[in-house]
Amino acid sequence: MSKIAVLLTDMFEDVEYTDPAKQFKEEGHDLTVISDKANKEIKGKQGQATVTSDKAIDEVKPEEFDAVFIPGGFSPDQLRADDRFVSFVKESDYLNKKMLVICHGPQLLITAGVLPGRRITGYKSIQRDLEYTGAVVFDREVVSCRDQLISSRNPDDIPAFIKKSLSVLK
């Protein structure tokens, strides 16, 4: 099954990580949580989930993975301030890795400059930002761009996000 790089730091939206991660694992996919440090305790913004990172961003390469999963919350906004995460996303896109993003997750893609001409959705407050990058933005529960970029808007969309993500990971 697929090897999935999960880009995560503090203040992620708890259920946007926990629900998809649980389903991905149940379907046999291998998740590696990547943060700025290995073995870092990462806390969700709702206080419902704590995750320990498996690897530091300096220890991994996009070539090692089939997909990149970016949950929302404040985590993507923090990660996009770190050039190492931006480079990881840019290189992953160049290698045509699957990108699974939800809510504010697309903020990291905005900074990586990989959205012009792509179909995408995201949290309501970033939809205009996505348009400014040249992306084609839809206000739908799940949007697929050539089965390479899967995106959803918010926690209510998680079931559709999981279903579509699993279909492209097979």
For 66-101, letters b (16+ CB in 10 Å) and e give: bbbbbbbbebbbbbbebeebbebbbebbeeebbbbb
CB-CB contact of 151 with 143 (8 Å): yes
Distance (Å, whole) CA 138 – CA 56: 34
| pLDDT band of 21, cuts 50, 70, 90 | very high
pLDDT tens string 72-89: 999 999 999 999 999 999
Please tell me the predicted confidence (pLDDT) of residue 170.
Answer: 85
CB-CB contact of 69 with 5 (8 Å): yes
The pLDDT of residue 140 is above 90: yes
Angle between helices 14-26 and 158-169 (to 10 degrees): 40
Q: What average pLDDT does this structure show over 36-65?
A: 98
80, 90, 104, 164: the active-site residue: 104
β-strand pairing of 136-137 with 119-120: parallel
CA atoms within 13 A on the CB side of 65: 30
pTM over 0.75: yes
Q: What average pLDDT does this structure show over 48-65?
A: 98
103, 110, 126, 143: the active-site residue: 103
Please tell me the predicted confidence (pLDDT) of residue 17.
Answer: 98
pLDDT tens string 89-139: 999 999 999 999 999 999 999 999 999 999 999 999 999 999 999 999 999
- Structural domains in the chain, CATH included, are 3-169 (3.40.50.880)
CB-CB contact of 122 with 150 (8 Å): no
| pLDDT band of 54, cuts 50, 70, 90 | very high
Mean pLDDT estimate for the chain: 98
Q: Is 104 a catalytic residue?
A: yes
Q: What average pLDDT does this structure show over 9-38?
A: 98
**9: number of Cβ within 10 Å:** 25
pLDDT > 90: what percent of the chain?
Answer: 99
Q: Is 145 a catalytic residue?
A: no
